[in-house]
Chain A
């Protein structure tokens, strides 16, 4: 067994739930989360990289998830399934518990808006880091975030004006703040 296999096995056995949850947050689709996680695992472990501990491997896999998701969207842009599913779909009902409210609010975001939101507000990345991570311009990130914030604020009754970019703390592994 190659030296990377036990770590991969451990990630899949012990960290899958957490990674799937993150992937589902990014994709907005539990089924797609499985596909994205598989691809993120493959991308991460296909490189000649060794991990001393499963925690490090998990961090890499998690970090790969947003870009794997968006890369996948680019590749299958011609297929309408995902984009149609994610764009501007109004929630069927507001009369559900708060968890579902949030999920439905997130569902109206475009895939890129959603990825930006997760990286910015869940992972606490700076705008610069989000841009770097997703391979898009900072201005584009800001536009996505502004649009997403407006949509979410309207649906979740939260304010959209307290994003203090400079104070964000990066949590992605191995990144230098402010890159």
Chain B
């Protein structure tokens, strides 16, 4: 079939020459960019209904999605969850023990959730049936091979039935990978409480899932550092979200040769020594009326 390949290449090259004179960006950039913005917002706040819900759930893979409950909580449903302007307390799962109280306060969000600076971790590790970090590990150059073995940039219609967040820190890459790879949806890094607060009621939207995973520096049980992208000043670009398309949740890796270098001190001073790296995850449901469920949080320490 080498002949056919040559023929196909010939067709493609001819078409490329033909398209070369077109101003695709001029004709479509505004529309495409607008659609991307709306979809990125939708992925966060749940606009778009079931498809967005599924994509988010699949991508993040950190939650046991109560599909049955969601089936009854469709667009327009009224919940008893707090409104965006309220300060809420997220009760941990009954199965979690001990049970720290994690407050998802809207506003400055200083020290109120494990995503935020100054938060005091009530326990060293925390998770629940609905959200847990199953494993954390440091890895090295083998991570590249592992990524190649597990990546999935397509959109498989596979829903995770379990929620796990194995989390890896790369320490031995020749070159730091820099980017997000989430083939099946989205995984945020901002506090879900903050994302939920930014959402606006949309009666036409379905129920949305807001989920995020990040890494923080902890010293004496307090969050003292977090990831900040120096380019944009707020968001890390050092994520690699992986989903292998089966019910194993998503693997998240902080891909930096120097994890400490990715961490920014919460204060003006340099990051104190002897801090410990933690993986932190959070998830909630956002409803069409703008309300959201109490945020489930989980965190785990890197030994």
Contact = CB atoms under 8 A, between A and B. Distances in A.
A159 B188 CA distance: 50
B179 A3 contact: no
B4 A152 contact: yes
B157 to A, nearest CB: 7
B36 A156 contact: no
Most chain B beta-carbon contacts within 10 A, residue among A21, A103, A132, A174? A21
Given A21-B15, A24-B15, A16 B180 contact: no
Nearest to A153: B4
A85 interface: no
Interface string B4-23: 11011111111111111010
Interface string A143-179: 0000001001000101110110000000001111000
B36 A45 contact: yes
Contacts of A49: 179-182, 241
Contacts of A13: 24-25, 29
Interface residues of A, number: 61
B248 interface: no
Given A106-B11, A174-B153, A12 B5 contact: no
Given A48-B43, A102-B11, A152-B4, A3 B20 contact: no
A49 B149 CA distance: 19
B59 A12 contact: no
Interface residues of B, number: 61
Nearest to B245: A132
Interface in A10-41: 12-13, 16-18, 20-22, 24-25, 30, 34, 37-38, 41
Main secondary structure of the interface of A (DSSP, over half): helix
A160 to B, nearest CB: 8
Given A3-B231, A175-B151, A16 B19 contact: yes
Contacts of B151: 174-176
A132 to B, nearest CB: 7
Contacts of B29: 9, 12-13
Nearest to B20: A17
Given A17-B20, A34-B24, A122-B9, A47 B31 contact: no
B248 to A, nearest CB: 15
Contacts of A84: none
A17 B22 contact: yes
A71 to B, nearest CB: 8
Given A18-B16, A22-B12, A42 B35 contact: yes
A152 B3 CA distance: 11
Interface string A116-145: 011011101000000011010000000000
B4 A156 contact: yes
Nearest to A161: B1
Contacts of A118: 8
A99 B235 contact: no
A25 B11 contact: yes
A17 B10 CA distance: 15
B153 A21 contact: no
B151 to A, nearest CB: 5
Interface in A81-130: 98-99, 102-103, 106, 117-118, 120-122, 124
B245 to A, nearest CB: 9
Nearest to A105: B7
A3 B40 contact: no
Given A38-B28, A49-B180, A49-B241, 8 more contacts: A21-B16, A46-B39, A46-B186, A56-B179, A98-B7, A121-B1, A121-B5, A124-B5
Interface of A: 2-5, 8-9, 12-13, 16-18, 20-22, 24-25, 30, 34, 37-38, 41-43, 45-52, 56, 60, 63, 67, 98-99, 102-103, 106, 117-118, 120-122, 124, 132-133, 135, 149, 152, 156, 158-160, 162-163, 173-176
